[in-house]
Structure 1
Amino acid sequence: MGEAAARLGVSTHLLRHREAEGVITPRRTAGDARRYDRSYWTCRDCASPTL
């Protein structure tokens, strides 16, 4: 999640918030780590805060 947040220029908190809202849905590995699709790197809705 930290790498995704850094690439988008947002906080990990915002990514968790967007996930809770259903805006993004990362895949999960067997170890339960999040894996984001490359399309999230340029997703304006993923990075734009609504708070």
Structure 2
Amino acid sequence: MRAEHGRPDDLARTVRSAAERVVREAVINALEHAPGAPVRTGVDRGGETVTV
């Protein structure tokens, strides 16, 4: 996981793991259902909220 804002190490281990699983599943779904289409993902955090 690459961080553009903050460091992923700053997230609790379980939160980071959950975010990685969500992103992984999204990429797998995109590859299955739209092969060759560009894929863009992001993880943002604000305070105690993490948005994937």
TM-score range, shorter chain: under 0.3
Higher RCO (CA 8 Å, separation ≥ 6 residues): 1
The structure with the larger Rg is 2
Write 1 or 2 for the structure with the bigger share of helix: 1
